[in-house]
Structure 1
Amino acid sequence: MELSDIRREYTQGGLRRHDLPDEPLPLFAKWLKQAIAAKIADPTAMTVATVDENGQPFQRIVLLKHFDHDGFVFYTNLGSRKALQLSHNAKISLHFPWHAIERQVHVTGEAEKLSTLEVIKYFSSRPKESQIAAWASKQSNRISARQALEGKFMELKQKFAKGDVPVPTFWGGYRVKINSIEFWQGGEHRLHDRFLYSKDASEWTIERLAP
Protein backbone atom coordinates (compact mmCIF):
# COMPACT_ATOMS: atom_id res chain seq x y z
CA MET A 1 0.00 0.00 0.00
CA GLU A 2 1.19 3.49 -0.84
CA LEU A 3 1.36 6.00 2.01
CA SER A 4 -0.83 8.31 -0.07
CA ASP A 5 -3.58 5.64 0.06
CA ILE A 6 -3.80 5.65 3.88
CA ARG A 7 -6.84 7.63 4.96
CA ARG A 8 -9.98 7.31 7.01
CA GLU A 9 -13.20 9.19 7.54
CA TYR A 10 -13.73 11.26 10.67
CA THR A 11 -17.21 10.50 11.93
CA GLN A 12 -17.30 11.04 15.69
CA GLY A 13 -19.04 14.39 15.64
CA GLY A 14 -18.85 18.05 14.73
CA LEU A 15 -18.19 21.34 16.49
CA ARG A 16 -20.50 24.32 16.00
CA ARG A 17 -20.23 27.96 17.00
CA HIS A 18 -23.09 27.65 19.47
CA ASP A 19 -21.13 24.88 21.25
CA LEU A 20 -18.34 27.28 22.18
CA PRO A 21 -17.98 29.11 25.52
CA ASP A 22 -16.86 32.74 25.50
CA GLU A 23 -13.42 31.71 26.78
CA PRO A 24 -11.36 28.69 25.65
CA LEU A 25 -10.32 27.14 29.00
CA PRO A 26 -13.72 25.57 29.83
CA LEU A 27 -13.77 23.84 26.43
CA PHE A 28 -10.16 22.66 26.84
CA ALA A 29 -11.00 21.29 30.30
CA LYS A 30 -14.03 19.46 28.87
CA TRP A 31 -12.04 17.97 25.99
CA LEU A 32 -9.18 16.90 28.26
CA LYS A 33 -11.63 15.23 30.62
CA GLN A 34 -13.18 13.39 27.69
CA ALA A 35 -9.74 12.34 26.41
CA ILE A 36 -8.97 10.87 29.84
CA ALA A 37 -12.36 9.11 29.96
CA ALA A 38 -11.68 7.65 26.50
CA LYS A 39 -8.53 6.06 27.96
CA ILE A 40 -6.25 7.68 25.40
CA ALA A 41 -2.63 6.82 26.12
CA ASP A 42 -0.93 9.81 27.75
CA PRO A 43 -3.82 12.28 27.35
CA THR A 44 -1.71 15.07 28.88
CA ALA A 45 1.12 14.54 26.37
CA MET A 46 1.72 17.59 24.21
CA THR A 47 4.17 18.53 21.51
CA VAL A 48 6.24 21.54 22.55
CA ALA A 49 7.74 23.54 19.68
CA THR A 50 10.54 26.08 20.13
CA VAL A 51 12.95 27.86 17.80
CA ASP A 52 16.71 28.24 18.18
CA GLU A 53 18.77 31.39 17.55
CA ASN A 54 19.12 30.42 13.88
CA GLY A 55 15.38 30.10 13.33
CA GLN A 56 15.46 26.28 13.31
CA PRO A 57 12.27 24.82 14.85
CA PHE A 58 12.46 21.88 17.28
CA GLN A 59 9.67 19.70 18.67
CA ARG A 60 9.44 17.21 21.52
CA ILE A 61 6.77 15.59 23.69
CA VAL A 62 6.32 16.68 27.30
CA LEU A 63 3.49 16.25 29.81
CA LEU A 64 1.10 19.00 30.80
CA LYS A 65 1.12 19.26 34.61
CA HIS A 66 -1.34 22.08 35.27
CA PHE A 67 -3.46 24.63 33.47
CA ASP A 68 -5.61 27.56 34.47
CA HIS A 69 -6.36 31.07 33.24
CA ASP A 70 -2.71 31.99 33.81
CA GLY A 71 -1.50 29.40 31.31
CA PHE A 72 -0.25 25.85 30.69
CA VAL A 73 2.52 24.44 32.93
CA PHE A 74 5.28 21.93 32.23
CA TYR A 75 8.61 21.07 33.91
CA THR A 76 12.05 20.40 32.47
CA ASN A 77 15.80 20.57 32.94
CA LEU A 78 16.81 24.22 32.63
CA GLY A 79 19.94 23.15 30.77
CA SER A 80 17.93 21.29 28.13
CA ARG A 81 17.78 22.33 24.50
CA LYS A 82 14.20 23.59 24.86
CA ALA A 83 15.12 25.73 27.89
CA LEU A 84 18.15 27.23 26.14
CA GLN A 85 16.02 28.04 23.11
CA LEU A 86 13.34 29.66 25.27
CA SER A 87 16.01 31.85 26.88
CA HIS A 88 16.63 33.34 23.40
CA ASN A 89 13.03 33.31 22.19
CA ALA A 90 10.14 32.84 24.63
CA LYS A 91 7.59 32.22 21.88
CA ILE A 92 6.27 28.67 22.05
CA SER A 93 3.67 26.37 20.55
CA LEU A 94 1.83 23.43 22.17
CA HIS A 95 -0.12 20.71 20.38
CA PHE A 96 -2.40 18.02 21.85
CA PRO A 97 -2.92 15.17 19.31
CA TRP A 98 -6.01 13.33 20.51
CA HIS A 99 -6.39 11.21 17.36
CA ALA A 100 -8.52 8.51 18.97
CA ILE A 101 -11.36 10.98 19.53
CA GLU A 102 -10.62 12.89 16.31
CA ARG A 103 -9.57 16.08 18.05
CA GLN A 104 -6.54 18.35 18.24
CA VAL A 105 -5.80 21.46 20.26
CA HIS A 106 -3.09 23.93 19.28
CA VAL A 107 -1.82 26.66 21.63
CA THR A 108 0.49 29.58 20.92
CA GLY A 109 1.97 31.83 23.57
CA GLU A 110 5.06 32.90 25.46
CA ALA A 111 6.86 30.89 28.12
CA GLU A 112 7.93 32.32 31.46
CA LYS A 113 9.84 30.50 34.20
CA LEU A 114 7.93 29.28 37.23
CA SER A 115 8.71 30.59 40.68
CA THR A 116 11.05 28.64 42.97
CA LEU A 117 8.13 27.86 45.28
CA GLU A 118 6.10 26.33 42.44
CA VAL A 119 9.06 24.23 41.33
CA ILE A 120 9.79 22.95 44.86
CA LYS A 121 6.13 22.08 45.43
CA TYR A 122 5.88 20.01 42.26
CA PHE A 123 9.33 18.38 42.56
CA SER A 124 8.46 17.23 46.08
CA SER A 125 5.32 15.52 44.76
CA ARG A 126 7.24 13.37 42.23
CA PRO A 127 8.17 9.73 42.92
CA LYS A 128 11.64 9.50 44.45
CA GLU A 129 13.02 7.63 41.43
CA SER A 130 11.88 10.48 39.16
CA GLN A 131 13.54 12.99 41.48
CA ILE A 132 16.80 11.05 41.28
CA ALA A 133 16.52 10.76 37.50
CA ALA A 134 16.36 14.55 37.30
CA TRP A 135 19.78 14.67 38.97
CA ALA A 136 21.21 11.84 36.84
CA SER A 137 20.35 13.25 33.43
CA LYS A 138 22.01 16.28 31.87
CA GLN A 139 19.14 16.57 29.45
CA SER A 140 19.99 17.00 25.74
CA ASN A 141 23.73 16.48 26.38
CA ARG A 142 25.54 13.72 24.46
CA ILE A 143 26.39 10.58 26.45
CA SER A 144 28.70 7.70 25.56
CA ALA A 145 26.27 4.87 26.37
CA ARG A 146 23.10 4.08 28.31
CA GLN A 147 25.24 2.33 30.92
CA ALA A 148 26.73 5.70 31.88
CA LEU A 149 23.26 7.07 32.58
CA GLU A 150 22.18 4.00 34.52
CA GLY A 151 25.42 4.01 36.50
CA LYS A 152 24.92 7.63 37.50
CA PHE A 153 21.33 6.88 38.51
CA MET A 154 22.40 3.99 40.76
CA GLU A 155 25.15 6.12 42.31
CA LEU A 156 22.66 8.86 43.17
CA LYS A 157 20.08 6.34 44.38
CA GLN A 158 22.55 5.16 46.99
CA LYS A 159 23.50 8.74 47.88
CA PHE A 160 19.88 9.75 48.53
CA ALA A 161 18.75 6.39 49.96
CA LYS A 162 18.12 7.65 53.48
CA GLY A 163 17.02 11.22 52.94
CA ASP A 164 14.98 13.59 50.84
CA VAL A 165 16.15 14.45 47.34
CA PRO A 166 16.81 18.20 47.03
CA VAL A 167 15.61 20.12 43.99
CA PRO A 168 18.47 20.48 41.49
CA THR A 169 19.37 24.08 40.75
CA PHE A 170 19.21 23.21 37.03
CA TRP A 171 15.62 21.91 37.18
CA GLY A 172 12.48 24.01 36.84
CA GLY A 173 9.41 24.69 34.79
CA TYR A 174 7.53 27.08 32.56
CA ARG A 175 4.10 28.62 32.33
CA VAL A 176 2.90 29.24 28.78
CA LYS A 177 0.93 32.48 28.71
CA ILE A 178 -1.78 31.97 26.10
CA ASN A 179 -2.07 34.08 22.95
CA SER A 180 -4.31 31.74 20.98
CA ILE A 181 -5.97 28.33 21.16
CA GLU A 182 -7.32 26.43 18.17
CA PHE A 183 -9.79 23.57 18.57
CA TRP A 184 -9.92 21.03 15.71
CA GLN A 185 -12.70 18.45 15.40
CA GLY A 186 -12.54 15.91 12.57
CA GLY A 187 -15.41 15.94 10.08
CA GLU A 188 -16.66 13.77 7.26
CA HIS A 189 -15.23 14.27 3.75
CA ARG A 190 -12.35 16.30 5.26
CA LEU A 191 -14.80 19.08 6.21
CA HIS A 192 -13.22 19.46 9.64
CA ASP A 193 -14.38 22.03 12.17
CA ARG A 194 -11.73 24.49 13.34
CA PHE A 195 -12.24 27.39 15.74
CA LEU A 196 -9.53 29.82 16.77
CA TYR A 197 -9.64 31.77 20.04
CA SER A 198 -7.33 34.80 19.93
CA LYS A 199 -6.61 37.05 22.88
CA ASP A 200 -6.66 40.83 22.48
CA ALA A 201 -5.83 42.45 25.83
CA SER A 202 -8.31 40.71 28.16
CA GLU A 203 -10.89 39.90 25.46
CA TRP A 204 -11.22 36.72 23.42
CA THR A 205 -12.31 36.68 19.80
CA ILE A 206 -13.53 33.52 18.08
CA GLU A 207 -13.11 32.77 14.38
CA ARG A 208 -14.00 29.72 12.29
CA LEU A 209 -11.15 28.55 10.07
CA ALA A 210 -11.45 26.62 6.82
CA PRO A 211 -10.27 22.99 7.16
Structure 2
Amino acid sequence: MASDIDPTNRGRDLAGMRVGYGERGARAEEPHLDADAVADGWLPLLRVWLEAAVEAELPEPNAMTLATVDHDGRPRTRTVLCKGLSEDGVLFFTNYDSDKARQLAASPYAAATFTWAPLAHQVTVCGRVEKVDPTVTEEYWSSRPRGSQLGAWASRQSRPIASRADLDAALVEAGHRFGSGRIPVPPFWGGLLLRPESVEFWQGRADRMHNRIRATQADGRWRVERLQP
Protein backbone atom coordinates (compact mmCIF):
# COMPACT_ATOMS: atom_id res chain seq x y z
CA MET A 1 0.00 0.00 0.00
CA ALA A 2 1.36 3.42 -0.92
CA SER A 3 2.62 5.36 2.10
CA ASP A 4 0.77 8.55 1.11
CA ILE A 5 -2.70 6.94 1.31
CA ASP A 6 -4.66 8.22 4.29
CA PRO A 7 -6.97 5.36 5.39
CA THR A 8 -8.93 7.76 7.61
CA ASN A 9 -9.75 10.19 4.77
CA ARG A 10 -7.85 13.27 5.97
CA GLY A 11 -8.30 12.51 9.63
CA ARG A 12 -11.89 11.27 9.51
CA ASP A 13 -12.40 7.99 11.35
CA LEU A 14 -14.22 6.09 8.61
CA ALA A 15 -13.84 2.81 10.48
CA GLY A 16 -15.68 4.29 13.43
CA MET A 17 -18.62 5.68 11.48
CA ARG A 18 -21.84 3.78 12.12
CA VAL A 19 -25.53 4.31 12.69
CA GLY A 20 -27.33 2.46 15.46
CA TYR A 21 -30.42 1.48 13.46
CA GLY A 22 -33.55 0.88 15.46
CA GLU A 23 -32.17 2.47 18.59
CA ARG A 24 -33.82 5.87 18.53
CA GLY A 25 -36.78 7.84 17.21
CA ALA A 26 -39.75 6.57 15.28
CA ARG A 27 -37.77 3.81 13.61
CA ALA A 28 -37.18 2.17 17.00
CA GLU A 29 -40.95 1.79 17.36
CA GLU A 30 -41.45 0.22 13.93
CA PRO A 31 -42.43 -3.46 14.21
CA HIS A 32 -39.86 -6.04 13.22
CA LEU A 33 -40.06 -6.99 9.56
CA ASP A 34 -41.14 -10.60 9.09
CA ALA A 35 -42.32 -12.91 6.33
CA ASP A 36 -45.96 -11.95 6.83
CA ALA A 37 -45.13 -8.48 5.48
CA VAL A 38 -44.83 -9.94 1.98
CA ALA A 39 -47.58 -12.52 2.28
CA ASP A 40 -49.50 -10.64 -0.43
CA GLY A 41 -46.44 -10.31 -2.66
CA TRP A 42 -43.49 -7.95 -2.89
CA LEU A 43 -45.29 -4.98 -4.42
CA PRO A 44 -47.51 -3.77 -1.52
CA LEU A 45 -44.63 -3.44 0.94
CA LEU A 46 -42.37 -1.75 -1.60
CA ARG A 47 -45.12 0.80 -2.26
CA VAL A 48 -45.61 1.37 1.48
CA TRP A 49 -41.89 1.94 2.03
CA LEU A 50 -41.64 4.24 -0.99
CA GLU A 51 -44.57 6.28 0.26
CA ALA A 52 -42.92 6.51 3.69
CA ALA A 53 -39.82 7.94 2.00
CA VAL A 54 -41.98 10.48 0.15
CA GLU A 55 -43.77 11.51 3.35
CA ALA A 56 -40.40 11.86 5.11
CA GLU A 57 -39.40 14.25 2.31
CA LEU A 58 -36.25 12.30 1.52
CA PRO A 59 -34.45 13.60 -1.60
CA GLU A 60 -35.38 11.69 -4.76
CA PRO A 61 -37.18 8.86 -2.96
CA ASN A 62 -37.63 7.01 -6.27
CA ALA A 63 -33.88 6.88 -6.94
CA MET A 64 -32.35 3.42 -7.21
CA THR A 65 -28.89 2.05 -7.86
CA LEU A 66 -29.00 -0.05 -11.04
CA ALA A 67 -26.37 -2.75 -11.45
CA THR A 68 -25.47 -4.37 -14.78
CA VAL A 69 -22.45 -6.25 -16.13
CA ASP A 70 -20.28 -5.12 -19.04
CA HIS A 71 -18.95 -7.24 -21.91
CA ASP A 72 -16.06 -8.39 -19.68
CA GLY A 73 -18.44 -9.56 -16.98
CA ARG A 74 -17.48 -6.70 -14.67
CA PRO A 75 -20.17 -5.00 -12.58
CA ARG A 76 -21.27 -1.46 -13.35
CA THR A 77 -23.61 0.69 -11.27
CA ARG A 78 -25.33 4.04 -11.61
CA THR A 79 -28.32 5.82 -10.10
CA VAL A 80 -31.54 5.99 -12.11
CA LEU A 81 -35.10 7.01 -11.26
CA CYS A 82 -37.91 4.50 -10.95
CA LYS A 83 -40.84 5.79 -13.00
CA GLY A 84 -43.37 3.06 -12.36
CA LEU A 85 -44.19 0.09 -10.12
CA SER A 86 -46.60 -2.70 -10.98
CA GLU A 87 -46.97 -6.44 -10.59
CA ASP A 88 -44.96 -6.67 -13.82
CA GLY A 89 -41.95 -4.95 -12.29
CA VAL A 90 -39.91 -1.79 -11.93
CA LEU A 91 -39.98 0.72 -14.78
CA PHE A 92 -37.27 3.19 -15.77
CA PHE A 93 -36.28 5.08 -18.92
CA THR A 94 -32.99 5.66 -20.71
CA ASN A 95 -31.17 6.22 -23.97
CA TYR A 96 -31.03 2.80 -25.64
CA ASP A 97 -27.49 3.60 -26.84
CA SER A 98 -26.24 4.31 -23.30
CA ASP A 99 -23.76 2.01 -21.59
CA LYS A 100 -26.40 0.52 -19.31
CA ALA A 101 -28.82 -0.18 -22.15
CA ARG A 102 -26.11 -1.77 -24.29
CA GLN A 103 -25.03 -3.92 -21.36
CA LEU A 104 -28.61 -4.99 -20.73
CA ALA A 105 -29.08 -5.82 -24.40
CA ALA A 106 -26.09 -8.18 -24.17
CA SER A 107 -26.92 -9.56 -20.71
CA PRO A 108 -30.57 -8.78 -19.88
CA TYR A 109 -30.41 -9.15 -16.13
CA ALA A 110 -30.02 -6.45 -13.50
CA ALA A 111 -30.35 -5.57 -9.84
CA ALA A 112 -31.86 -2.33 -8.55
CA THR A 113 -31.51 -1.14 -4.95
CA PHE A 114 -33.64 1.51 -3.27
CA THR A 115 -31.91 2.87 -0.15
CA TRP A 116 -33.73 5.03 2.38
CA ALA A 117 -31.11 5.22 5.13
CA PRO A 118 -32.95 7.68 7.43
CA LEU A 119 -35.82 5.18 7.57
CA ALA A 120 -33.52 2.15 7.94
CA HIS A 121 -35.12 0.65 4.83
CA GLN A 122 -33.58 -0.89 1.73
CA VAL A 123 -35.08 -2.97 -1.07
CA THR A 124 -33.19 -4.86 -3.79
CA VAL A 125 -34.99 -6.15 -6.87
CA CYS A 126 -33.27 -8.65 -9.18
CA GLY A 127 -34.48 -10.05 -12.47
CA ARG A 128 -34.67 -9.95 -16.23
CA VAL A 129 -34.92 -6.63 -18.08
CA GLU A 130 -36.84 -5.98 -21.30
CA LYS A 131 -37.92 -3.02 -23.41
CA VAL A 132 -41.45 -1.79 -22.87
CA ASP A 133 -44.08 -1.25 -25.52
CA PRO A 134 -43.60 2.06 -27.37
CA THR A 135 -46.98 3.25 -26.11
CA VAL A 136 -45.65 3.13 -22.53
CA THR A 137 -42.66 5.22 -23.55
CA GLU A 138 -44.88 7.69 -25.43
CA GLU A 139 -47.14 8.18 -22.40
CA TYR A 140 -44.22 8.92 -20.09
CA TRP A 141 -42.43 11.07 -22.68
CA SER A 142 -45.44 13.37 -22.96
CA SER A 143 -45.22 14.07 -19.21
CA ARG A 144 -41.55 15.11 -19.30
CA PRO A 145 -40.56 18.78 -19.12
CA ARG A 146 -39.66 20.24 -22.51
CA GLY A 147 -36.09 20.83 -21.39
CA SER A 148 -35.69 17.16 -20.51
CA GLN A 149 -37.09 16.17 -23.90
CA LEU A 150 -34.56 18.39 -25.66
CA GLY A 151 -31.79 17.02 -23.47
CA ALA A 152 -32.64 13.49 -24.55
CA TRP A 153 -32.21 14.51 -28.20
CA ALA A 154 -29.03 16.48 -27.52
CA SER A 155 -27.11 13.93 -25.48
CA ARG A 156 -25.43 10.84 -26.92
CA GLN A 157 -25.54 9.33 -23.47
CA SER A 158 -22.32 7.70 -22.20
CA ARG A 159 -20.33 8.78 -25.27
CA PRO A 160 -17.27 11.05 -24.79
CA ILE A 161 -17.52 14.77 -25.64
CA ALA A 162 -14.74 17.34 -25.85
CA SER A 163 -16.18 20.01 -23.56
CA ARG A 164 -19.16 21.34 -21.67
CA ALA A 165 -19.45 24.02 -24.32
CA ASP A 166 -19.98 21.34 -26.97
CA LEU A 167 -22.68 19.75 -24.83
CA ASP A 168 -24.45 23.07 -24.35
CA ALA A 169 -24.22 23.74 -28.09
CA ALA A 170 -25.90 20.39 -28.79
CA LEU A 171 -28.80 21.41 -26.56
CA VAL A 172 -29.15 24.75 -28.33
CA GLU A 173 -29.12 22.98 -31.70
CA ALA A 174 -31.88 20.63 -30.52
CA GLY A 175 -33.93 23.66 -29.48
CA HIS A 176 -33.52 25.22 -32.92
CA ARG A 177 -34.40 21.94 -34.59
CA PHE A 178 -37.80 21.61 -32.93
CA GLY A 179 -38.59 25.27 -32.34
CA SER A 180 -41.85 25.68 -30.48
CA GLY A 181 -43.43 22.55 -31.96
CA ARG A 182 -44.01 19.14 -30.48
CA ILE A 183 -40.88 17.15 -29.65
CA PRO A 184 -41.24 13.47 -30.64
CA VAL A 185 -39.76 10.54 -28.75
CA PRO A 186 -36.24 9.86 -30.04
CA PRO A 187 -36.01 6.46 -31.75
CA PHE A 188 -33.05 5.65 -29.49
CA TRP A 189 -34.85 6.40 -26.22
CA GLY A 190 -37.43 4.50 -24.18
CA GLY A 191 -38.49 2.44 -21.22
CA LEU A 192 -37.03 -0.68 -19.65
CA LEU A 193 -38.85 -3.00 -17.27
CA LEU A 194 -37.07 -4.99 -14.59
CA ARG A 195 -39.20 -8.08 -13.97
CA PRO A 196 -38.53 -9.31 -10.41
CA GLU A 197 -37.27 -12.82 -9.85
CA SER A 198 -36.20 -12.02 -6.31
CA VAL A 199 -36.94 -9.08 -4.01
CA GLU A 200 -35.14 -8.55 -0.70
CA PHE A 201 -36.37 -6.19 2.02
CA TRP A 202 -33.85 -4.97 4.59
CA GLN A 203 -34.77 -3.25 7.84
CA GLY A 204 -32.00 -1.83 10.01
CA ARG A 205 -31.98 -3.02 13.63
CA ALA A 206 -29.80 -2.53 16.70
CA ASP A 207 -26.43 -4.28 17.06
CA ARG A 208 -26.38 -5.00 13.33
CA MET A 209 -29.01 -7.71 13.83
CA HIS A 210 -30.93 -6.43 10.83
CA ASN A 211 -34.08 -7.98 9.44
CA ARG A 212 -33.81 -9.40 5.92
CA ILE A 213 -36.76 -10.97 4.14
CA ARG A 214 -36.37 -12.30 0.60
CA ALA A 215 -39.11 -13.34 -1.80
CA THR A 216 -37.96 -15.55 -4.69
CA GLN A 217 -40.05 -16.61 -7.67
CA ALA A 218 -39.91 -20.21 -8.87
CA ASP A 219 -42.39 -22.05 -11.08
CA GLY A 220 -44.83 -19.17 -10.92
CA ARG A 221 -44.85 -19.05 -7.12
CA TRP A 222 -43.14 -16.84 -4.60
CA ARG A 223 -41.10 -18.42 -1.79
CA VAL A 224 -40.46 -16.19 1.22
CA GLU A 225 -37.59 -16.72 3.64
CA ARG A 226 -35.74 -14.86 6.38
CA LEU A 227 -32.02 -14.30 5.87
CA GLN A 228 -29.46 -13.84 8.58
CA PRO A 229 -27.88 -10.38 8.71
What TM bracket, shorter-length normalisation? over 0.9
Corresponding residue number in structure 2 for 1:4 = 15
Corresponding residue number in structure 2 for 1:48 = 66
Corresponding residue number in structure 2 for 1:203 = 221
- SS of the residue corresponding to residue 142 of structure 1 reads coil
Per the TM alignment, residue 133 of structure 1 is displaced from its structure 2 partner at its CA by: 0.3
Does residue 180 in structure 1 map to residue 191 in structure 2? no
2 CA distance for matches of 1:169 and 1:18? 44
1 CA distance for matches of 2:38 and 2:146? 41
1:60 to 65, 69, 78: 78
The percentage of counterpart residues that share the same residue type is: 40
1 CA distance for matches of 2:19 and 2:88? 37
Could you tell me which amino acid in structure 2 is paired with residue 110 of structure 1?
A: R
Corresponding residue number in structure 2 for 1:29 = 47
Corresponding residue number in structure 2 for 1:16 = 34
Q: Which runs of 5+ in 2 are unaligned?
A: 1-11
Q: What's the RMSD between the two structures over aligned residues?
A: 1.1
Give me the TM-score of the superposition, normalised by structure 2. 0.89
CA offsets per residue over residues 15-68 of structure 1, 9 Å max, x none?
A: 133444331111111111111111110000000100012101100000000010
Corresponding residue number in structure 2 for 1:190 = 208
Per the TM alignment, residue 147 of structure 1 is displaced from its structure 2 partner at its CA by: 0.8
- SS of the residue corresponding to residue 125 of structure 1 reads coil
Could you tell me which amino acid in structure 2 is paired with residue 2 of structure 1?
A: D
Contact 1:36–1:43, Cα closer than 8 Å, also in 2: yes
1 CA distance for matches of 2:42 and 2:67? 21
Corresponding residue number in structure 1 for 2:5 = none
Contact 2:34–2:226, Cα closer than 8 Å, also in 1: no
Per the TM alignment, residue 101 of structure 1 is displaced from its structure 2 partner at its CA by: 0.5
Could you tell me which amino acid in structure 2 is paired with residue 10 of structure 1?
A: Y
Does residue 166 in structure 1 map to residue 177 in structure 2? no
1:144 to 150, 162, 184: 162
Per the TM alignment, residue 188 of structure 1 is displaced from its structure 2 partner at its CA by: 0.5
2 CA distance for matches of 1:192 and 1:135? 44
- SS of the residue corresponding to residue 166 of structure 1 reads coil
2 CA distance for matches of 1:181 and 1:145? 41
1 CA distance for matches of 2:56 and 2:13? 31
Per the TM alignment, residue 103 of structure 1 is displaced from its structure 2 partner at its CA by: 0.7
2 CA distance for matches of 1:19 and 1:81? 36
Query: Segments of 4+ in structure 1 off by > 3 A?
Result: 17-20
2 CA distance for matches of 1:8 and 1:177? 32
Instruction: Work out the number of aligned pairs and report it.
Output: 211
Say which one has the larger Rg.
Answer: 2
Q: Which runs of 5+ in 1 are unaligned?
A: none
Corresponding residue number in structure 2 for 1:127 = 145
1 CA distance for matches of 2:113 and 2:39? 20
